């Protein structure tokens, strides 16, 4: 079930190789692409996965730090059709999650094409096919009936521009390149951003005897990862079966107060909208605290307001304070890169997320699909993957039956290009 026919055509103008794909072209081999591929495999549908990196799950393998653990319990993070090994802890480590993904790919015999960064994908209305250009110096054009965007909500780092940062002089990096606090021992580090990355990087810096100051410019929800030994995420999921969202939010906030105490005294103000409602409407993930709040309370993490500008070796904050710093870590988040490669398409917004919210965000027009853009983490990706495979397998079977009946193969048409 190779699913591809190589060299069927060569585009004379650019001399790029054309590859016919008898099934969907999946862009990205993170958890979303792998989950979709596994569901398709199970249904006997061939596919090709194009991956820009030289490994699967590059976000997890290359851009996460050593001490990272999943922050949702394992049952919310496993992919369809293959459970985590039974001996995995409640919150698997980064290494365990990567091992699981590697064995997942092996189990379903999924072999992505590596170093195939997709630069452009467009629907050719003349022949009703997707034309996807990928690769580095030697471009390849993949042509097929269906396109699955699986490049993720975290495809590119967000790097805000700050006045004077170029003259700062100390090390400046993004949280996606942070591995451990070891190299920061004894250093004053400005961590810009207080999402889960900013909080966990600041905590890790404390563990390595660095002195983090964390920039909090806005309101923020912090929930304990666990309430009296039970995952607060799991608790919220259970409560949502019976209670309206606003009431679940109220309960979560009361429980947070009981477990964490008031945050206001430490420079952390809560938004007026509840944590789950904010996640649903705006995609902002609440911080699931694994110890940073305690370090904030003891002053080991110094909470500071927004950044005004940088000077050599210093930062000026919006309240006028100027503080000396050795290093800056930008924990300023990520964005989708779909708008940079998907041509002329209004299924995705200019931010690169489907305009339709969950659960209707997985299917577009003309054979376009999106997996893992639900703002619902890995469980959202698993949902999309199953829906997409179901839909494509039905269409693929119809098309294959029709081709057999007519004795034609759509792939042949590309030799005319």
Ligand X SMILES: O=C(O)C(=O)Cc1c[nH]c2ccccc12
Ligand Y SMILES: NC(=O)C1=CN([C@@H]2O[C@H](COP(=O)(O)OP(=O)(O)OC[C@H]3O[C@@H](n4cnc5c(N)ncnc54)[C@H](OP(=O)(O)O)[C@@H]3O)[C@@H](O)[C@H]2O)C=CC1
- Interface residue list for ligand Y (CB under 6 A): 68-71, 160, 175, 192-198, 200, 215, 217-218, 285, 306-307, 331-334
DSSP string, 34-84: HHHHHHHHHTT---EEE-SSSSSSHHHHHSS-TT-B-SS-GGGTPPTT-PP
Applying CB under 6 A, which part among 50-58, 183-191, 210-218, 285-293 lies near ligand X?
285-293
CA contacts within 13 A on the Cβ side of 60: 23
DSSP string, 86-122: TT--SS-BHHHHHHHHHHHHHHTT---BSS--EEEEE
Of residues 77 and 132, the one with the C-beta less far from ligand X: 77
300, 337, 361, 382: which one contacts ligand FAD (CB under 6 A)? 337
Element spanning 129, H or E: strand 129-134
Q: Which does 331 bind (CB under 5 to 8 A by kind): ligand FAD, ligand X, ligand Y, none?
A: ligand Y
Q: Report which of 153, 118, 152, 154 is spatially closest to residue 135, judged by C-alpha positions.
A: 118
Which tokens go with 276? Answer: 């789950």
Q: Which does 348 bind (CB under 5 to 8 A by kind): ligand Y, ligand FAD, ligand X, none?
A: none
203 binds ligand FAD (CB under 6 A): no
- Enumerate residues 347-406 that contact ligand X by CB under 6 A: 376-377
150 binds ligand FAD (CB under 6 A): yes
24, 73, 101, 153: which one contacts ligand FAD (CB under 6 A)? 153
Count of residues that bind ligand X according to CB under 6 A: 9
50, 248, 329, 386: which one contacts ligand FAD (CB under 6 A)? 50
- Residue ranges of alpha helices (H) inside 149-231 are 196-207
Q: Report which of 386, 389, 385 is spatially closest to residue 46, judged by C-alpha positions.
A: 389
192 close to 329: Cβ distance less than 8 angstroms: yes
Q: Which does 233 bind (CB under 5 to 8 A by kind): ligand X, ligand FAD, ligand Y, none?
A: ligand X
Q: Which residue has the tokens 């003891």?
A: 298
8, 45, 48, 70: which one contacts ligand FAD (CB under 6 A)? 70
Of residues 189 and 268, the one with the C-beta less far from ligand X: 268
Of residues 152 and 377, the one with the C-beta less far from ligand X: 377
| CA dihedral of residues 197, 203, 205, 210 (deg, nearest 10) | 140
74 binds ligand X (CB under 6 A): no
Site string for ligand FAD, 71-90 (x = CB under 6 A): xx----x-------------
Q: Report which of 174, 214, 176 is spatially closest to residue 295, judged by C-alpha positions.
A: 214
Which tokens go with 197? Answer: 């990355």
151 binds ligand FAD (CB under 6 A): yes
Interface positions with ligand X (CB under 6 A): 71-72, 233, 279, 285-286, 288, 376-377
Interface positions with ligand FAD (CB under 6 A): 27-33, 50-53, 57-59, 64, 68, 70-72, 77, 117-118, 150-155, 337, 341, 372, 377-378, 381
């Amino acid at each position: 079930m190779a699913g591809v026919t190589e060299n069927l055509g060569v585009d004379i103008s650019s001399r790029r190789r054309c590859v016919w794909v008898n099934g969907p072209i999946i862009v990205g081999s993170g958890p979303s692409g792998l989950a979709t591929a596994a569901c398709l495999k199970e249904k006997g549908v061939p596919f090709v996965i194009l991956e820009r990196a030289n490994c699967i799950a590059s976000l997890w393998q290359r851009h996460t730090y050593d001490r990272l653990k999943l922050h949702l319990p394992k049952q919310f993070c496993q992919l369809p059709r293959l459970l985590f090994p039974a001996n995995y802890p409640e919150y698997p480590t980064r290494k365990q999650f990567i091992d699981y993904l590697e064995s997942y790919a092996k189990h379903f015999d999924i072999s992505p094409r590596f170093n195939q960064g997709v630069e452009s994908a467009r629907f050719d209305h003349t022949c009703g096919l997707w034309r996807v250009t990928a690769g580095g110096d030697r471009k390849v054009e993949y042509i097929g009936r269906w396109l699955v965007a699986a490049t993720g909500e975290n495809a590119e780092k967000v790097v805000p521009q700050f006045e004077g940062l170029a003259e700062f002089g100390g090390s400046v990096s993004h949280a996606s390149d942070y591995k451990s606090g070891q190299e920061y021992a004894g250093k004053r580090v400005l961590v810009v951003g207080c999402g889960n990355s900013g909080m966990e990087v600041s905590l890790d810096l404390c563990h390595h005897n660095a002195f983090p100051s964390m920039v909090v410019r806005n309101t923020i929800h912090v929930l304990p990862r666990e309430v009296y030994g039970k995952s607060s995420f799991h608790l919220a999921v259970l409560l949502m079966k019976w209670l309206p969202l606003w009431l679940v939010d109220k309960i979560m906030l009361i429980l947070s107060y009981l477990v964490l105490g008031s945050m206001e005294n430490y420079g952390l103000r809560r938004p007026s909208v509840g944590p789950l409602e904010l996640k649903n409407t705006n995609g902002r993930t609440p911080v699931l605290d694994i110890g940073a709040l305690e370090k904030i309370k003891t002053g080991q993490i110094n909470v500071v307001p927004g950044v005004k500008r940088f000077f050599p070796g210093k930062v000026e904050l919006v309240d006028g304070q100027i503080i000396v710093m050795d290093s800056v870590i930008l924990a300023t988040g990520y964005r989708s890169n779909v708008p940079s490669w998907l041509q002329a398409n209004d299924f995705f917004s200019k931010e690169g997320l489907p305009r339709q919210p969950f659960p209707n965000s997985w299917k577009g027009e003309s054979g376009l699909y999106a997996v893992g853009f639900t703002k619902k983490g890995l469980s959202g990706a698993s949902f999309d993957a199953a829906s997409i495979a179901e839909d494509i397998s039905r269409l693929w079977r119809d098309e294959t039956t029709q081709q057999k009946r007519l004795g034609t193969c759509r792939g042949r048409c590309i030799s005319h290009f």
